[in-house]
Structure 1
Amino acid sequence: MTMTNEAVLRAFHNEIEETVPVSFWHHFAPSGFVDGLQDDHHTYDLNVHGHEAYYQALDLDFVKTMLDGYYVDPVLLADQPKTWTMLREVQPIQADDRWISEQLSLAKAQVQAAQGKLTFYTVFSPLTMFKWSLMDHATAPTDAGDHCLADLYEADSTALKRLLAQIGEDLAKLIRQLPPTGITGIYYSTQSIQDDRVKTADFFHAVIEPVDLAVIEAINDAFALNILHVCGLHGATNDLRLYKDYPLQVVNWATHVDGYSLAEGKKLFGDKPVLGGFGDGTQDILYAGTKAEIQAETRRLIQEAGRTGVIIGADCTVPRDTPLDHIRWVQEAARNFSKQ
């Protein structure tokens, strides 16, 4: 049975729920790291048509859309190795840059595909965007960009802070133009840098937190309901205690990586609504489990976390080939739990 937006919003507003909402998402392009501005709309079309087909196949309770092809601020996409000699020359983008205008078009198309459901649009943090620009995603290890960023920080910490602030301002230009697209809010993805030289509270407070909070201010100015995603994809770890005062309304993190269950995280984040619970890997229950295992895990998550401000999803993006029936089984178990 389809949940109404009013019923879903009870969870997002931290109210007692008759039924716990469920949603999962995955990528539609072979890689999200392609430059969507340079491939004749191929990735854009894959993104739009993928969302349309996915939402027709599944009656999700709300949707979080994907940003394949538009991960990185275009000023960072030069092919040459990133050095401070070139990075100091990077200029801000204009409010009508194609990277912004095509995202506005993408957001409108995704809202249309969602057919009236609450829709959250992805925005990546300036640090995440920058570190992704520092590596070849086809060949490099997943943490290669983190190590390059740490090198650049050691070479010139002031220049790094200045560049990140500029990227944050570019994001704000996008965010301020998103409300007319019809999206409900922003899903803001941030992450600690996976290099021991900078994986410290000092670096967090000096570099990560100020730029995150600047972008979050723009998000909250534009939308009243948003989601903080502390990303643990590919085993990246974060000290969730550092993020507990970020002023976004709902929180999603890697319960299977960062050491806090949904119930524990709800306490850590001051009883805010929480989203997640399932692992996002091919060895995790959602992907590899039987119907009985998946539904038992759904019931366990709800029993542990409760039915006030609890939303069932995954730690992060699930594999592209996650069987759709597995998602339906989660929804079925959540619906049946509400009848108990």
Structure 2
Amino acid sequence: MAENKKQLVLAAMDGKDVARVPSGFWFHFLDDEVGADAFRDPSLTKHLLAGEKTYIEGFRPDFVKIMTDGFFHYRSEQVEQAREVRQLRGLKPLADDDPWFTAQLAYAKELTRSYGDDVAMFYNIFAANTTFRFMQPVWEQGEALLVSFIQEDKETVKEAFDVLSTDLARLSTRLIKEAGVTGIYFSLQNLLGDGITRAVYDEVLAPGEKKILAAANAASDYNILHICGYAGHRNDLSWYEDYDAKTINWAAVVEGIPLEEGQKRFAGRAVLGGFGNLASEVLYKGTKEAITAETHRLLAAAGRRGVILGADCTVPRDMDWKHLEWVREAART
């Protein structure tokens, strides 16, 4: 009987015994995944779909993280143009038929229709914090701008981000119920800056993030929380220990917190990751022997239940797929 990869991954997320430990890796398909705007240029979605399908059909991954290159931005000129915190006041939610919903639902359906019966598919959703930053003219400056907004008027940020998070929650629900995705891959990270303590984060940002997860969990038992350490961004994982998600993925290499420690921190929930995602690390540049050895080392430490092998974050676009297959092969033994 052919292996059912969807059942394999869901069993791993449930912490059950599995015939082999599954793995999953992903990469961007557009040249400028942050600045690309598929709402203004629908041809970008065709390019994205083509890349997704080539990877799924060519590599046959154990599960799919549905990449959202071109969909990083929230469709709100008010948020996009806000350079002062007062400009966020009075933000209204999007209509149900806004292209921000319909275009993403159509994109997800195109993938689930073809592959959703055989492979688990998790749609990438960014938290309001990250979404706001990606919408800035220079996205790397978005964190400092958001910090300044919170320092000046955190109540306005709370109200605006509640609207944005509510729409992200609505999108998550619709993706699961209408588009047939297995669940969401929910990406967030600590906000860094003067005065942004755990208490401030819990007051301003955490409520919206938990609202999104609650909506996704009401629609599916299988959702993944990604604590993003992309580009070396350091996070205090303790901020998210009470976030409700079936599986937790964090930057194990960046944070220096291996899978077995994360299992303890997150109360035995399933963990995803283990490998670094940079071109300087073994997954990208290693030999078959080195990648096999690292796979065996990770599993010897973390065990084989409630474990999915993956990377800190998105791997380079030119990753040799053979390296990913070596991980899968090594995880069988």
Question: What TM-score bracket applies, with the shorter chain setting the length?
Answer: over 0.9
- What is the alpha-carbon distance in structure 1 between the residues aligned to residue 3 and residue 24 of structure 2? 12
- Indicate the SS of the match to 1:181: coil
- What is the alpha-carbon distance in structure 2 between the residues aligned to residue 76 and residue 322 of structure 1? 36
Alignment-derived partner of residue 123 in structure 2: 121
- What is the alpha-carbon distance in structure 2 between the residues aligned to residue 72 and residue 159 of structure 1? 20
Establish whether residue 274 from structure 1 lines up as the match of residue 271 from structure 2.
yes
Q: Spell out, residue by residue over 1:190-231, the C-alpha distance to the aligned partner (whole angstroms, 9 max, x if none).
A: 111132431x21122112211111111111112111000001
Distance 1:308 1:318, change over 3 A: same
Distance 1:79 1:171, change over 3 A: closer
Q: Is this contact kept in 2: 1:2–1:59, CA < 8 A?
A: no
Alignment-derived partner of residue 72 in structure 1: 73
Alignment-derived partner of residue 53 in structure 2: 52
Q: Is this contact kept in 2: 1:276–1:315, CA < 8 A?
A: yes
Q: Name the aligned partner's letter for residue 120 of structure 2.
A: L
Seq. identity, %: 37
Q: How many residues align?
A: 329
- What is the alpha-carbon distance in structure 1 between the residues aligned to residue 53 and residue 18 of structure 2? 28
Q: Name the aligned partner's letter for residue 190 of structure 1.
A: L
- What is the alpha-carbon distance in structure 2 between the residues aligned to residue 181 and residue 134 of structure 1? 29
Distance 1:94 1:69, change over 3 A: same
Alignment-derived partner of residue 20 in structure 1: 21
Q: Is this contact kept in 1: 2:143–2:192, CA < 8 A?
A: yes
Runs (5+) with no aligned partner, structure 2:
none
- What is the alpha-carbon distance in structure 1 between the residues aligned to residue 79 and residue 240 of structure 2? 32
Alignment-derived partner of residue 165 in structure 2: 168
Alignment-derived partner of residue 240 in structure 1: 237
Q: Is this contact kept in 2: 1:75–1:92, CA < 8 A?
A: no
Distance 1:307 1:79, change over 3 A: closer
Alignment of 1:310-325 (within 5 A): 310-325=307-322
Establish whether residue 149 from structure 1 lines up as the match of residue 146 from structure 2.
yes
Alignment of 1:196-207 (within 5 A): 196-198=194-196, 200-207=197-204
Q: Name the aligned partner's letter for residue 111 of structure 2.
A: Q
Runs (5+) with no aligned partner, structure 1:
none
Q: Name the aligned partner's letter for residue 7 of structure 1.
A: L
Q: Name the aligned partner's letter for residue 56 of structure 1.
A: E
Establish whether residue 35 from structure 1 lines up as the match of residue 37 from structure 2.
yes
- What is the alpha-carbon distance in structure 2 between the residues aligned to residue 229 and residue 7 of structure 1? 20
- What is the alpha-carbon distance in structure 1 between the residues aligned to residue 97 and residue 251 of structure 2? 35
Supply the RMSD in Å over aligned alpha carbons: 1.6
- Indicate the SS of the match to 1:256: helix
Distance 1:127 1:286, change over 3 A: same
Alignment-derived partner of residue 133 in structure 2: 131
Q: Is this contact kept in 2: 1:3–1:61, CA < 8 A?
A: no
Q: Is this contact kept in 1: 2:90–2:160, CA < 8 A?
A: no
Alignment of 1:185-224 (within 5 A): 185-198=183-196, 200-224=197-221
Task: Please give the TM-score of this superposition, normalised by the length of structure 1.
Answer: 0.92
CA offset at residue 175 of structure 1? 2.0
Q: Name the aligned partner's letter for residue 67 of structure 2.
A: M
Distance 1:66 1:167, change over 3 A: same
Distance 1:311 1:130, change over 3 A: same
Alignment-derived partner of residue 97 in structure 1: 98
- Indicate the SS of the match to 2:207: helix
Q: Name the aligned partner's letter for residue 166 of structure 1.
A: V
- Indicate the SS of the match to 1:274: strand
- What is the alpha-carbon distance in structure 2 between the residues aligned to residue 206 and residue 254 of structure 1? 25
Q: Spell out, residue by residue over 1:118-152, the C-alpha distance to the aligned partner (whole angstroms, 9 max, x if none).
A: 11111111111112223424xxxx3x111110011
Task: Please give the TM-score of this superposition, normalised by the length of structure 2.
Answer: 0.94
- What is the alpha-carbon distance in structure 1 between the residues aligned to residue 257 and residue 32 of structure 2? 29
Q: Is this contact kept in 2: 1:55–1:113, CA < 8 A?
A: no
- What is the alpha-carbon distance in structure 1 between the residues aligned to residue 78 and residue 28 of structure 2? 21
CA offset at residue 257 of structure 1? 1.4
- What is the alpha-carbon distance in structure 2 between the residues aligned to residue 326 and residue 77 of structure 1? 44
- What is the alpha-carbon distance in structure 2 between the residues aligned to residue 251 and residue 267 of structure 1? 12
Alignment of 1:323-334 (within 5 A): 323-334=320-331
- What is the alpha-carbon distance in structure 1 between the residues aligned to residue 105 and residue 53 of structure 2? 17
